[in-house]
Chains A and B, each alone.
Chain A
Amino acid sequence: MQVTRQTCQRVLWLGTRRYLSATPASQPTVISRFLLWLSQNFHDVEPLLNWSTTLRNRVVRRKNLFYGYAQRRYGENIAAAYYILSLKGAFRFAGQTEWFRPNDRGRFSYDFMSFPAATIEEIDLSGTPINCNGLDNLVTQVHLRRLTLRGCPEVDGWFLSRLHAFSESLEELDISHCPRITTGALCALIHLRKLKLLDISSLSSLQNPGLVHILIEEMLPHCLVTGTGYSQGLSSEDRMQTNSTAGLKAQATQPQAEENGQTSVQRHGEMH
């Protein structure tokens, strides 16, 4: 009987991991594990779970709305500043030393409204749900020099490909710990010709980080690229998951094609 319980737990745990791989930032809570178990045993729970994903997507979408009204009424800089603060991010105006950031409860003062002409020079949006639509609010800040996006769950290639708006000014970019950034996403950085400092540490979706590091240095010759958090290899937990999902991945049609051109080529070769 003990075996039974153990295996059940294992199945549950695996299932949860798979489910949560869609939401990399969160930890499996008791409730979500219970819901998952329910959904695996009863069909009626499925819509509920789908619904919660929809809800989550909606929250992200709402947080990344375009503040068109604020922009028209108060100007681009104020709208951008307001957007950053409402995401619980922080920023610094050009020519000032002081940072504007909300307090722990997300409240912030509206002092920044008194500098409608000031452009933003540094932005820190670490850990916020900013996505490529939210960038609409920021692309007006063409004097942006430093952007920190450490551990942002929604930052992906589509996001990076929009950073060309800052190609004339951006000097420092930190995209470490962003779980959705892949090799194909990093290709978009080619537009950032002024970049001097780039942090690509601990990108969990990146395969061949060593090679990618070298290739990025080649692509951006004037930029210092830092990337740590790869040399230690996989943690034991990750390794377990890799094993258990290996079969599944293989079946989900050659996921390494991008990293290893050969795979897709071989597939095509087999085709005829």
Chain B
Amino acid sequence: MSFWQRLPSKLHSFQAVGVPSRTVRPQTRIFLPRIRNVSTGVPMRSDFVKDLELQLKAMREKAAAALPGSEWTPFEVRHGLPPERVDVLIIGGGVVGWSIAYWLKRKTGPRKALRVLVVEKDPTYSQSSTVLSAGGIRQQFSLTENIQLSLASADFLKNINEHLSVLNEDPVDLQFNHSGYLFLASEKGAHIMEANYETQRHVGAKVKLLSPAQLKDMFPWINTDGVALASYGLENEGWFDPWTLLSALRRKALSMGVEQCLGEVTGFRYGVHSVENRELGRLQIRGITHTNIQMPNSIEVQPVESTVVINAAGANSGKVAKMVGIGLGPDDMISGISIPVEPRKRYIYVVHCPDGPGMDTPFLIDYSGVYFRREGLGANYITGVSPEETEEPDITNLDVDHEFFKDKIWPELAYRVPAFESLKVTSAWAGFYDYNTFDQNGLLGIHPLVRNMYFATGFSGHGLQQSPAVGRAVAELILDGGYKTLDLSALDIKRIIYEERVLESNIV
């Protein structure tokens, strides 16, 4: 980096010697003087000059690219081979993966050089949930752990520039919208909402209950028919730009010395040894020694040795776990229990409605499950709903089903907000939830059958908002051997073996 920064001045001195000062002409954006075309008619000389000119041109371009205001970043995606050996290898460069990388570095400091490698298969993030999400953060959960995770993450976002600012780079602007979440409950769900509200207040979230009359007073555009109770987040709730968070985490982690590698994890090399466990009986414990990384556009597979592997592959993490043999054993054995995380397709529709609600639009979640929020100030909104378990769409592609909007979303939307009668769908996209089919909550920690693979996955629709705190928790597990700041043992992955579900009690 410093080389490029020094380059312009080096070039100056070089030219000042080589070219008579007469020919130096100031230029506006590229700060290097341009040489006048010297055509002498002597071929030899002209060749030399041309050569020199070409070289200078190349250097000039590089130098201009390195100056502020250009596209150039000091961190190039490493197209070469990954290192042969690292301490921690993180599979998945989504928001969870980069957050863990950041916290690992942050906790060890620059001096204890822990080598961390993040492996991401898709540099464009075209299918990653992170960039396809709705970007919301809320504390209105029923599980203490989820509320705490979200509160801790909100605290991180609040102080994001203390965490993620990089010297000489612009400060991070998440474009956080402090509009809060508004949950609506019907008669049936009102008592659950009240119970959840008690838990949330107890854990420290700032939430307020609203009667239908208060609701109407605050949001006159809502049709309150059928609403028995509403709860509205006062602080730390809203939405932000997930892409900004992802790139800020990545930028900071890279500046702290985390390495990244472009390639897909296709398998592992591991050793197996048999141990006797008091609770679970005889177990075949695996220890991963190498992770095989398939390089892009080539048949080459590069093994990387590492002490610890972290599975943060989002919706794909169940598949990655299978590569170590988790879930491939006989059905009645522990080795037959697979990681219950699979991709589930969710649509988001962008609608335009000039008569729709304005700046007082919260992230509204109706008791029918339909949600919407504002997107910018131009009367655009995004909306969606989770389909019935029996109507899950095909996950082989990310195509959008527009009938789904007409059948399942629009009627509910227009009922709740009559102005939406006249909306127009302007665009739509789909993304994969990292859906935990077991209990729809995060799975953290070491799998009992693999000695050195940590999981951080299965967040099913709230992974983005939990990622900063999850990164810290996983880093604590690895470096301190246990949770230090937040006790997340309830979310331990071992619960899938003991069949202990931790479920959110939903109002929807």
A41 touches B377 (CB 8 A): no
Do the beta carbons of B377 and A259 come within 8 Å of each other? yes
User: Could you say which of A15, A212, A252 contacts B170, with CB atoms under 8 Å apart?
Assistant: A252
Please, which residues of chain A bring their CB within 8 A of the CB of B170? 18, 21-22, 245, 248-249, 252
Q: Smallest CB–CB gap between B235 and chain A, Å?
A: 5
Decide: A261 and B378 in contact? CB cutoff 8 A.
yes
B126 touches A (CB below 8 Å): yes
Determine if B9 is an interface residue (Cβ-Cβ < 8 Å).
Answer: yes
Least CB separation from A263: chain B residue: B376
Q: Cβ of B377 and Cβ of A162 under 8 Å apart?
A: no
Among A26-34, A63-71, A118-126, A177-185, the stretch that binds chain B is A177-185
Please pick, from A3, A39, A253, the residue contacting B244 in the complex, using a CB distance under 8 A: A253
B71/A247 in contact, CB under 8 A: yes
Central interface residue in B6, B71, B176, B350, by most chain A CB within 10 Å? B176
In Å, the complex CA distance between A127 and B171 comes to 21
Chain B residues near A42 (CB-CB < 8 A): 2
Contact string, B210-253, partner A, CB cutoff 8 A, digits 1/0?
Answer: 00000000100000000000000011101011011001000000
**A15/B358 in contact, CB under 8 A:** no
Q: Which of B168, B243, B359, B375 contacts A19 (CB 8 A)?
A: B168
A265 to B135, CA, bound (A): 13
Given contacts A18-B168, A161-B234, A245-B69, contact A41 B158 (CB under 8 A): no
- A128 and B71 CA atoms in complex are apart in Å by 37
Q: Any chain A CB within 8 A of the CB of B67?
A: yes
Is A219 a contact partner of B178 (Cβ separation < 8 A)?
no
**Chain B residues near A188 (CB-CB < 8 A):** 178-179
Asked whether B31 is an interface residue with its Cβ less than 8 Å from the other chain, the reply is yes
> B234 touching A164 by the CB < 8 A rule?
yes
Give the chain B neighbours of A229 by CB distance below 8 A.
none
**B68 interface residue, CB < 8 Å from A?**
yes
Query: How many residues of chain A have a CB within 8 Å of chain B?
Result: 76
In the complex, chain B residues whose CB is within 8 Å of the CB of A218: 358-360
Count of chain B residues near A, Cβ 8 A: 66
Per-residue A-contact encoding for B378-404, CB less than 8 Å = 1, 0 else: 101000000000000000001000000
The contact of A248 among B68, B358, B375, by CB within 8 Å, is B68
Could you tell me the distance between the alpha carbons of A3 and B218 in the complex, rounded to whole angstroms? 61
The reply on A269 being an interface residue by CB < 8 A is yes
Stretch in B422-430, B451-459, B470-478 with 4+ CB within 8 Å of A: B422-430
A226 in the interface (beta carbon within 8 A): no
Query: Is B168 a contact of A15 with CB atoms below 8 Å?
Result: yes
Asked whether B12 is an interface residue with its Cβ less than 8 Å from the other chain, the reply is yes
B26 at interface, CB cutoff 8 A: yes
Q: Kindly report which residue of chain A lies nearest to residue B235, judged by CB atoms.
A: A161
- Scan A23-58; emit 1 where CB is below 8 A from any B CB, else 0: 000000000000010011111001001100100010
User: Interface code A251-266, partner B: CB below 8 Å = 1, 0 otherwise?
Assistant: 1111101111111111
Given A162-B235, A187-B359, A261 and B26 contact (CB-CB distance below 8 Å): no
CA distance A248 to B243 in the complex (A): 16
* B277 at the A interface (CB under 8 A): no
B280 within 8 A of A: no
Cα A266 to Cα B376 in complex, Å, equals 13
CA distance A208 to B377 in the complex (A): 9
B177 contacts A265, CB within 8 Å? Answer: no
Give the Cβ gap from B436 to chain A, nearest Cβ, in Å: 24
B411 to chain A, nearest CB (A): 23
Which residues on B sit within 8 Å (CB–CB) of A43?
Answer: 2
Does B487 touch A at the CB level, under 8 Å? no
Q: Which residues of B contact A3 (CB under 8 A)?
A: 24, 26, 33
Complex-state Cα separation, A6 to B73, whole angstroms: 25
Interface pair A41/B6, CB less than 8 Å apart: yes
Interface flags for B21-42 (1: CB within 8 Å of A; 0: not) read 1001010000101000000000
Contact A248 B429 (CB under 8 A): no
Chain A residues, Cβ within 8 Å of B426: 265
Query: Is A105's beta carbon under 8 Å from chain B?
Result: no
A261 and B131: CB pair below 8 A?
no
Contact across chains for B2 and A41 when beta carbons are under 8 A apart = yes
Q: Does the CB pair B31–A10 fall under 8 Å?
A: yes
Query: What are 27 of the A-B contact pairs (CB < 8 Å)?
Result: A4-B12, A11-B8, A39-B168, A40-B5, A41-B5, A41-B6, A46-B167, A157-B176, A158-B176, A158-B178, A158-B235, A161-B234, A161-B236, A164-B206, A182-B173, A184-B177, A184-B240, A187-B178, A188-B178, A218-B358, A218-B359, A219-B359, A255-B175, A258-B175, A260-B378, A271-B126, A272-B126
Considering the complex of A and B, which 6 residue pairs feature the smallest CB-CB distances, nearest first? A261-B376, A261-B380, A184-B177, A7-B31, A188-B178, A261-B375
Residues of A within 8 A of B (CB): 1, 3-4, 6-8, 10-11, 14-15, 18-19, 21-22, 36, 39-43, 46, 49-50, 53, 57, 132, 157-158, 160-162, 164, 182-188, 190-191, 193, 205, 208, 211-212, 215-216, 218-219, 244-249, 251-255, 257-269, 271-272
Assuming A4-B9, A187-B360, A259-B376, what are 8 further A-B pairs, CB within 8 angstroms?
A11-B68, A164-B235, A205-B173, A244-B69, A258-B376, A261-B377, A267-B131, A269-B429
